[in-house]
């Protein structure tokens, strides 16, 4: 359909000339999922530039993770964990994987998110031009006995906030210069 291709071209050209088209309320894009997974809420990634060292620290904030709801009206729980992965968009390779978070219980109803408190970060990433990094979050859901993984999900973090030593600003589609 020629009309749809033209529309797609407009979006690409607009994002290249005006900047990334990222909604501030959207903090994650599901890339892949498998099995009996619950729901997640991720938060914008943080990119802190250190001029004196010429490095970047990229941080994934602790997400909200819920169990899968299989029976309406019946509270259910699962064991959950998560980890962050740093990806270099230019080199098209994984830079590093953070260790898995601690195990937490997640429930399937309001107020029943897993109480993750700790963020995960990657230090000393190169700030040399050009660079473009992204965070991916990998989630696991296990049965309540803790004996079997029942679901997984991979989420790309977006948008990113920047700091050059002061406060946080911006809504960018990656941590980088391109």
Dist CA 44 CA 142 (whole Å): 26
SS (H, E, C) the chain: CHHHHHHHHHHHHHHHHCCCCCCCCCCEEEEEEEECCCEEECCCEEEEEECCCCEEEEEECCCEEECCCCCCCCCCEEEEEEEEEEEECCCCEEEEECCCCCCEEEECCCCCCCCCCCCEEEEEEECCCCCEEEEEEEEEEECCCCCCEEEEEEEEECCEEEECCCCCEEEECCEECC
The yes or no reply on domain 26-176 and CATH 2.60.40 is yes
**pLDDT per residue as tens digits for the range 72-109:** 778 889 999 999 999 999 999 999 999 999 999 999 87
Residue with more model confidence, 65 or 16: 65
pLDDT at 78: 93
Considering only 18-27, 48-57, 59-68, 157-166, which range has the smallest mean pLDDT?
18-27
Domain definitions of the chain by residue range: 26-176
**pLDDT per residue as tens digits for the range 145-156:** 999 999 999 999
pLDDT at 7 over 60: no
Q: Any bridge partners for residue 144, and if so which?
A: none
**pLDDT per residue as tens digits for the range 9-27:** 222 222 332 333 333 334 7
The pTM for the full model equals: 0.81
Average pLDDT, stretch 41-48?
Answer: 94
């Amino acid at each position: 359909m020629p009309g749809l291709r033209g529309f797609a071209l407009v979006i690409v050209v607009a994002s290249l000339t005006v900047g990334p088209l990222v909604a501030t309320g959207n903090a994650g894009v599901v890339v892949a999922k498998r099995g009996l997974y619950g729901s997640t809420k991720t938060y914008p990634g943080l990119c802190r530039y250190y001029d004196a060292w010429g490095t970047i620290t990229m941080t994934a904030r602790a997400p909200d993770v819920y169990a899968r709801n299989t029976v309406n009206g019946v509270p259910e729980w699962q064991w959950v964990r998560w980890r962050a992965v740093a990806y270099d968009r230019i080199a098209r390779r994984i830079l590093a994987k953070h260790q898995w978070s601690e195990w937490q219980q997640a429930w399937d109803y309001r107020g029943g998110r897993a109480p993750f408190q700790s963020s995960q970060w990657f230090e000393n990433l190169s700030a040399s031009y050009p660079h473009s990094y992204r965070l991916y979050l990998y989630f696991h859901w296990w049965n309540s006995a803790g004996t079997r993984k029942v679901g997984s999900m991979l989420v790309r973090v977006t948008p990113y906030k920047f700091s050059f030593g002061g406060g946080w600003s911006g809504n960018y589609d990656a941590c980088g210069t391109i």
